[in-house]
Amino acid sequence: MAFQCPTGFDVTRLRQNVLATYDRVAREPEGDFHFHRGPFYAAQYLGYDPVELDALPLRSTMRFAGVGNPLAIGPIPPGSRVLDHACGAGTDLLLAARRVGPTGLAIGVDMTPAMRACAEASAEQAGLADEVEIRAGFYEDLPVEDASIDVVISNGVVNLAPDKTRVLAEIARVLKPGGRLYLADVVVQRELTLEARSNPDLWAACIGGALPERDLFGLAFEVGLHDACVTHRFDSFRDTSAEAKLSGDLRVQAVNFHARKPGAVAG
Ligand SMILES: C[S@@+](CC[C@H](N)C(=O)[O-])C[C@H]1O[C@@H](n2cnc3c(N)ncnc32)[C@H](O)[C@@H]1O
């Protein structure tokens, strides 16, 4: 059965909470949060190349709030069109833009204006303005044409969505036949308590809405994505207050997850 929020769950309040949380990450990246941020975390916990990160504007990397490393899942060929469907301040987006080069395009969509402003300024500063396009929007209703994207990247965001089927269906819609999803997200190995599932603060910290791992496979299949597999695992909440509060009991971790839209890759 598809993932469902608890009865009476206040979806409007959740969105306000998520927006407020990531607006604060954009304005005070070194503030106190339940989750890690920044380039040191990305390199030490998630295996990002520190040299590649150093070459990007700090404005972007210090606001990195992903949970895994989607670009480690597979290649992004030069000339391809990539979508980061909640790009935040743009770290993965800029790394993708470097890979697609001048003949490709890296599109970033995000709902938080302050995050988009950081991503846009960073693209300019990194000399990537021609390869990057930032769009305002929601990943439940992507401002992106059908079958126009070679690779969708996603880092730490599907867990924030109350309607995960809709988010995955949007990804499937925008992918070209043969296009790939490189997704990193938080998963749980056992179902969360109703109390945890009903807590909007825990949702905004990327845990309350985490899918049981097997449901991620089910969802991908449901929206028509094939070749699903987990490629890496990350202990993204190690040493955070979230880990201390929830104990290891919930077995919260993040995974890199690959899936593909059936069909031939256009030549
Ligand atoms: C955990 S951060 C991850 C950002 C980025 N992927 C990264 O790795 O740094 C979550 C991002 O998702 C965005 N977001 C949350 N809900 C969204 C939605 N419904 N539509 C678009 N963006 C959303 C937030 O604004 C925030 O920038």
Number of Cβ atoms within 10 Å of the Cβ of 24: 16
| Partner residues linked to 234 by β-bridges | 254
**Which comes out higher in pLDDT, residue 255 or 207?**
255
- pLDDT at residue 266, rounded to an integer: 52
Nearest ligand 1 atom, CA 23: 25
In this structure, which residue's CA is closest to atom 4 in ligand 1? 88
Ligand 1 centroid, distance to 157 Cα (angstroms):
5
What would the two tokens of residue 14 be? 């959740």
- pLDDT at residue 249, rounded to an integer: 58
CB burial readout 202-233, b (16+ within 10 A) else e: bbbbbbbbbbebebbbebbeebebeebeebbe
Nearest ligand 1 atom, CA 84: 6
Into which CATH architecture does domain 11-260 fall?
3-Layer(aba) Sandwich (3.40)
Parallel, antiparallel, or unpaired for β 149-155 and 211-212?
Answer: unpaired
Residues in contact with ligand 1 by the CB-under-6-Å rule are: 18, 22, 64-66, 86-88, 91-92, 110-112, 115, 138-140, 155-157, 160, 206
This prediction has a pTM of 0.95
In this structure, which residue's CA is closest to atom 8 in ligand 1? 66
- pLDDT at residue 84, rounded to an integer: 98
Question: CA–CA separation, 142 vs 136, rounded Å?
Answer: 9
In this structure, which residue's CA is closest to atom 20 in ligand 1? 138
pLDDT digits (tens, 9 = 90+) for 176-214: 999 999 999 999 887 888 888 888 777 877 888 999 999
pLDDT digits (tens, 9 = 90+) for 212-234: 999 999 999 999 999 999 999 99
Catalogue the E-assigned strands of 92-217. Answer: 105-110, 132-136, 149-155, 175-188, 211-212
Ligand 1 centroid, distance to 87 Cα (angstroms):
6
Ligand 1 centroid, distance to 264 Cα (angstroms):
30
Length of the chain as a residue count: 267
Ligand 1 centroid, distance to 166 Cα (angstroms):
16
- pLDDT at residue 199, rounded to an integer: 82
